[in-house]
Structure 1
Amino acid sequence: MVQGTSSWAGKSLMTTAICRHLARKGLRVAPFKAQNMSNNARVVNGGEIGVAQYLQAIAARTEPDVRMNPILVKPEGMTRSQVVVLGKPDQAVSALPWRDRAPHLWPAVIASLRALLAEYEVVVLEGAGSPAEINLMDCDLTNIRAATQADASVLLVADIDRGGAFAHLYGTWGLLPDEARRRLKGFILNKFRGDPALLVPAPERLTAMTGIPVVGVVPYFEHHLPDEDGAATPISDGTPATVVAVIRYPFASNLDEFKALEQVALLRWARSAVDLEGARLLVLPGSKHVASDLAWLRSVGLDSAVAAKARVGVRVLGVCGGLQMLGQRLHDPYRVDGAGDGLALLAVETTFEREKLTRRATIRFASGLPVPWSELSNRAVNGYEIRHGRTVAKGATRMAATDGLGWIEGPVLGLTVHGVLESPEILIALFGRAPAYSLDATIDRLTDVVMRNIDARFIEELVGCA
């Protein structure tokens, strides 16, 4: 099991690399994270899971499945979240206070973990946050409790780039209960910049104080994988490129789907009207709370800024919740999200239904699409849908895709389907450039870097394959 001293320490990346390393050894491997908190999700067999476990399953060369992330918590406000259990929203559990949820969720966690342990030779577990969050140990599902249930050996990762990594490792070790401390087998320092010789004698002293060896020092590098939650600062190689501004409202979701854009365009997260300047494409991404994010757009002046750009012919793309914002009206008869007026850039209206639609989908663009979207005409792209909203045309708006999956008015295009901008064919059509490397190649590059810098044999011995 890979645990961390904090969020963003590198747990997900280490887990991904270990999954691919063991899969290269010919083992049948599966990832597992009991509970993940993220608005970045993917559709798999049975429903939706966090994007990190989706990527880890690909790294393990196995089919992603809801048991690999049985509990997904999707924030909808500062104190409100939707709880997805085995791929489907559970309204009853979502309504409970945080500490009251664990007894209702543990049966799904334990059943999923036991099933994976029975089906695979190795299950690589990932923790959440820190196992030493002593205020939450009584309702923990993902760290100590999952490790105990799986009888897992634990690696603890710290982000040394933040500073204080040795204190983080020692403090975490010191706060762990005795049983959890016995499971801890190795420390990993992640995101190190500079000469590893400068670390001496700290690793040796830490080992002397804890009895736990430092088994890896992984350098800081651009891994090019999507982030587990939210999105990091976009990567640019400095090559002149088309600017794409993705509006990052407070509850933006599925931002991971824009990672491939970094290879063909200059990606910019937009939080104000100024951030739209110079952009040739504006994107309104998905949203976990459309009405709230739409109100935020108006509060910062991005509603009028987007409309002004559309009037002068700048391409505007709305995806899922972004499409719903571009329409004329939001209806919410079941109090799922919120009602109100949209931006009225597309003649469509959206009604939020009780049941969430979660499915893989193929979007087929219509023939003869007008400029500036004509390059998409007659193309087909595989993607996925995760939405409560059902959008329908009102008036003479033009269908951009078959089966009610998209609409277009001039430079404004709205799609219900996520993942279109991950397609190399679409990126070539829109930007004239193909991504330099595939997702699988990116996972291989990550694995090569990580496994060169940690004790691979130590890892193999932990799982019994050395």
Structure 2
Amino acid sequence: MARAIMIQGCTSSAGKSYLTAALCRILANEGVRVAPFKAQNMSNNAGVTPAGLEMGRAQLVQAQAARVVPDVRMNPVLLKPEADTRSQVVLLGRASPELTTLGWRERKPHLWPHVQTALHSLMADYDVVVIEGAGSPAEINLRGSDIVNMRVAREAGAAVLLAADIDRGGAFAHLLGTWHCLTPVERLLLKGFILNRFRGDAGLLSPAPEWLEEQTGVPTVGVVPMLDIPLPEEDGFWAEKTHASGGNGFVAIARLPRVSNLDEFAPLGTLARWVTTPAELEGARATILPGSKSSAADLGWLRACGLAAAVSRAAQAGVPVLGICGGLQMLGRTLSDPHGIEGGREEVPGLGLLDLATTFAVDKTTRLTTCTDAETGLHLSGYEIHHGQTRTGPGVQELAPELLWRAGNVRGTYLHGLLENPAYLERFLDWAGLTQPEALESLDARLDAIAVRVRAGLNWDFVRGLL
């Protein structure tokens, strides 16, 4: 009997994070002491634990699903892409410059002991650990450097469930092909297949599941329907699916190449429109420059595609402009990187819409934060993740010390989650002349609803029997 169950996927975006969160909530509802785990996450969507340490957004959500306090042991390694061939390594919640400089394969012997320790520590503290894989276990070129898929499954003795996104098509080929790419030892750990995001009549699937079991000896243990219940996503797929609708205006959000923390804009709902060209900005009632893992490089992209000039024109025309974290830094006068934190050492001119100067420090600020906005009088909560240290000039009003600034209709902040404060969201939309969209249900209520639907789609007696 396993004390760990693992969700792996045939592909990226197969729904692993979603299913892991669902299993955590299902087991927590049964009174099981359960914790999530993902050995290595590659994502710029990160958050902060109560201990002030950084970890992936998906594992923060899964911890809430499990009704436990988020702990960096649940995501010991976080890779934050800064360029196509470079990622910052966050180890146990802290950025590691030494590991960041190492190549992909050279990191494994340094990271694996930390993964082992975190995994076994969680297994000692909880009844069950629900483990999430990454990408696909069938990436043969990555098997030698694997610290997140089948190596973790073997280490934990986990019962593995392999999920395929049937909405994309080719699900049975994906499942069979992935099974063929596994070693004999790995196949012994694979206990069931899940067809995820299914639409229509499940009776029409026959005889494919039976054929697949004949080929592999592995049963299909779940047909999970396509669910329109959103969760914060680790890879920003939400932004690709979101387009403003209706004729009353929209909020334009710059889709930066290294954009981060996308899920904080979910409260905008259908008012959000992600833009990459000046033409797409036309008609926006407000503009947001979001966070970025590479502020200077993304500012260069903003200029090259013409959005920088378009944002400046919008600001001069009185359109509300909001910069968050990296976006705040871009709105300032200068960005300086003397230590090469983002890969360059030259001072870069900002858009000059706020009288601020930012210098990137070696140490990263990561903390949960509360403050009072002097402009609105609202008490705000959120979190900070930034290397930048920003100095205030005489031409800007500091609304909250080292957190929130304003010059006319242009505002900037280091407070991620600002628009997740309902009262501030209402003010922001009022400045834009927009009506607040229907509020999302609480995350806890959404997790409960997902748990009910996923449990109904699984052969739960079989899955529960694996533990």
After TM superposition, is the score higher than 0.5? yes
Compare 238-247 and 282-291 and name the one that shifted more. 238-247
User: What's the CA shift string for 1:329-348, capped at 9, x where partnerless?
Assistant: 01111111243000000000
Which of 372, 388, 393 is the matching residue for 1:364? 372
User: In 2, Cα distance between the equivalents of 1:395 and 1:100?
Assistant: 48
| Residue correspondence of structure 1 range 237-386 to structure 2 within 5 A | 242-262=249-269, 265-337=270-342, 338=344, 339-366=347-374, 369=375, 377-386=376-385
Match of 2:439 in 1: 435
User: In 1, Cα distance between the equivalents of 2:123 and 2:234?
Assistant: 24
Compare 169-178 and 388-397 and name the one that shifted more. 388-397
1:156 aligns with 2:162: yes
Given that residues 384 and 417 in structure 1 are in contact (C-alpha distance below 8 angstroms), is that contact kept between their aligned partners in structure 2?
yes
User: What's the CA shift string for 1:103-131, capped at 9, x where partnerless?
Assistant: 00011111111110010111000001111
Which of 443, 458, 463 is the matching residue for 2:462? 458
User: In 2, Cα distance between the equivalents of 1:417 and 1:10?
Assistant: 29
Determine which structure has greater relative contact order: mean sequence separation of CA pairs < 8 Å that are 6+ residues apart, divided by chain length. Answer: 2
Match of 2:3 in 1: none
Match of 1:141 in 2: 147
Match of 2:412 in 1: 414
User: In 2, Cα distance between the equivalents of 1:325 and 1:274?
Assistant: 21
The one-letter amino acid of 2:288's match is: V
1:21 aligns with 2:26: yes
Match of 1:197 in 2: 203
The CA deviation at 1:237 is: 9.8
User: In 2, Cα distance between the equivalents of 1:197 and 1:205?
Assistant: 15
Match of 1:83 in 2: 89
Which of 194, 214, 225 is the matching residue for 2:220? 214
Match of 1:372 in 2: none
1:130 aligns with 2:174: no
User: In 2, Cα distance between the equivalents of 1:97 and 1:293?
Assistant: 24
User: In 2, Cα distance between the equivalents of 1:221 and 1:279?
Assistant: 30
Given that residues 224 and 259 in structure 1 are in contact (C-alpha distance below 8 angstroms), is that contact kept between their aligned partners in structure 2?
no
User: In 2, Cα distance between the equivalents of 1:143 and 1:217?
Assistant: 22
Identity of aligned residues (%): 52
The CA deviation at 1:280 is: 1.4
User: What's the CA shift string for 1:74-126, capped at 9, x where partnerless?
Assistant: 00001011000000011111111101100000111111111100101110000
Counterparts in 2 of 1:446 and 1:182: CA distance versus 1, 3 Å: same
1:393 aligns with 2:397: no
User: In 2, Cα distance between the equivalents of 1:240 and 1:301?
Assistant: 25
Compare 190-199 and 244-253 and name the one that shifted more. 190-199
Counterparts in 2 of 1:440 and 1:42: CA distance versus 1, 3 Å: same
Gaps of 5+ in 2: 1-5, 430-434
If the length of structure 1 is used for normalisation, what is the TM-score? Answer: 0.94
The one-letter amino acid of 2:413's match is: L
SS of equivalent residue, structure 1 residue 404: coil
The CA deviation at 1:239 is: 6.2
Given that residues 242 and 273 in structure 2 are in contact (C-alpha distance below 8 angstroms), is that contact kept between their aligned partners in structure 1?
no
User: In 2, Cα distance between the equivalents of 1:65 and 1:130?
Assistant: 25
User: What's the CA shift string for 1:278-328, capped at 9, x where partnerless?
Assistant: 221211111000110000000000001001111111110000000000000
Gaps of 5+ in 1: 370-376
Match of 1:446 in 2: 450
Compare 43-52 and 408-417 and name the one that shifted more. 43-52
The CA deviation at 1:424 is: 2.1
Given that residues 261 and 422 in structure 1 are in contact (C-alpha distance below 8 angstroms), is that contact kept between their aligned partners in structure 2?
no
If the length of structure 2 is used for normalisation, what is the TM-score? Answer: 0.94
User: What's the CA shift string for 1:173-194, capped at 9, x where partnerless?
Assistant: 1110111100001100111222
1:231 aligns with 2:237: yes
SS of equivalent residue, structure 2 residue 237: coil
CA RMSD of aligned residues (A): 1.5
Counterparts in 2 of 1:277 and 1:238: CA distance versus 1, 3 Å: closer
The CA deviation at 1:360 is: 0.9
Given that residues 160 and 192 in structure 1 are in contact (C-alpha distance below 8 angstroms), is that contact kept between their aligned partners in structure 2?
yes
SS of equivalent residue, structure 1 residue 72: strand
Given that residues 46 and 65 in structure 1 are in contact (C-alpha distance below 8 angstroms), is that contact kept between their aligned partners in structure 2?
no
The CA deviation at 1:252 is: 0.5
The one-letter amino acid of 2:414's match is: T
User: In 1, Cα distance between the equivalents of 2:341 and 2:26?
Assistant: 43
Given that residues 395 and 407 in structure 2 are in contact (C-alpha distance below 8 angstroms), is that contact kept between their aligned partners in structure 1?
no
User: In 1, Cα distance between the equivalents of 2:255 and 2:218?
Assistant: 41
The one-letter amino acid of 1:417's match is: L
Counterparts in 2 of 1:137 and 1:144: CA distance versus 1, 3 Å: same
User: In 2, Cα distance between the equivalents of 1:243 and 1:446?
Assistant: 29
